[in-house]
């Protein structure tokens, strides 16, 4: 599998508002690469792992936990590499330097949750609620345009040509769920830090994207159920003992 030559020849003409198109084209090529017979057994194992987690949630009107993106970005093969990394190793000689820079950023990205802090002059200030990193991005996607200050978005971020970008945007989450998400997810990170002395949020999020997606799907399912109930929200706090 290789990059479409027509797309390569037009790369220099691409503007920042074409990043989404480039992202989709690269993902499609990596997915096609994953269809090789040599990955068949490992992809079956990945499906079993993914849908075992999904079975605890049930179906959702919108697939916030996307198997295809998890498979190519985050699932580790038996050799310890992702399918995206395998793809880049095989085809990196076919890239221009600009293409390679973009693909490497895309490959190494991880899912996180970003809070919208400010909007001004076509720019949005977002902050990762876990790493606390701040991003200034151009307001381009419909998801961002529909957000209100304090809303959250589940996505990956990259830096390309000196500009932060959101990619693989899964959906917008009401801001009042921020504390619930932090309280349920941060203890998992603390467990990880106890085992990984030099670990950090970036590595943890890269290794646990499926866990994060599972948490978000549960939250979004609650949103959908409550919206059907005249938009009223009831919140309970309880202590449970696990036998």
Question: Taking a C-beta distance cutoff of 8 angstroms, is the pair 131, 201 a contact?
Answer: yes
The pLDDT score that the predictor gives to residue 52 is: 80
**218 and 185 in contact (C-beta within 8 Å)?**
no
Full-model pTM:
0.80
CA distance 39 to 46: 10
User: Which tokens belong to 237?
Assistant: 């706090």
Distance CA 216, CA 63 (A): 11
> Average pLDDT for residues 15-39, to the nearest whole number?
83
Highest CATH level, class, for 5-176: mainly beta
Largest CA distance in the chain: 61
pLDDT at 60: 47
For every residue of the chain, which 3-state class applies, written as one string? CCCCHHHHHCHHHCCHHHHHHHHHHHHHHHHHHHCCHHHHHHHHHHHHHHHHHHCCCCCCCCCCCCHHHHHHHCCCCCCCCCHHHHHHHHHHHHCCHHHHHHHHHHHHCCEEEEEEEEEECCEEEEEECCCCCEEEEECCCHHHHCCCCCCEEEEEEEEECCEEEEEEEEEEECHHHHHHHHHHHHHHHHHHHHHCCCCCHHHHHHHCHHHHHHHHHHHHHHHHHHHHCCCCCCCCCCCCCCC
Asked if pLDDT for residue 221 goes beyond 50, the answer is yes
- pLDDT at residue 193 tops 80: yes
Q: For the residues 98-124, what does the mean pLDDT come to?
A: 90
29 vs 232, which has greater pLDDT?
29
Q: Can you give the pLDDT at residue 200?
A: 93
Q: Where are the domains of the chain?
A: 5-176, 177-228
């Amino acid at each position: 599998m290789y990059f479409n030559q027509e797309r390569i020849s037009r790369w220099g003409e691409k503007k920042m508002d074409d990043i989404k198109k480039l992202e989709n084209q690269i993902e499609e090529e990596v997915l096609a690469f994953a269809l090789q017979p040599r990955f068949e057994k490992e992809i079956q194992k990945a499906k079993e792992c993914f849908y075992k987690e999904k079975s605890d949630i049930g179906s959702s009107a919108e697939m916030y936990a996307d198997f295809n993106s998890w498979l190519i970005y985050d699932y580790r093969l038996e050799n310890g590499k992702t399918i995206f990394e395998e793809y880049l190793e095989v085809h990196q000689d076919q890239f221009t330097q600009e293409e390679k820079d973009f693909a490497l950023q895309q490959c190494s990205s991880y899912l996180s949750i970003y809070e919208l802090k400010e909007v001004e002059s076509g720019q949005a200030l977002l902050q990762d609620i876990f790493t606390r990193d701040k991003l200034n991005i151009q307001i381009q996607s419909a998801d961002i345009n529909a957000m209100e200050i304090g809303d959250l978005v589940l996505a990956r971020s990259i830096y390309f040509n000196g500009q932060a970008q959101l990619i693989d945007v899964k959906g917008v989450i009401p801001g009042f769920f921020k504390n619930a998400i932090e309280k349920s997810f941060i203890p998992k990170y603390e467990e990880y830090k106890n085992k990984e002395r030099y670990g950090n949020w970036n590595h943890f999020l890269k290794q646990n994207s499926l866990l994060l997606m599972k948490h978000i799907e549960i939250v979004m399912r609650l949103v959908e159920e409550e919206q059907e109930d005249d938009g009223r929200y009831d919140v309970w706090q309880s202590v449970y003992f696990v036998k």
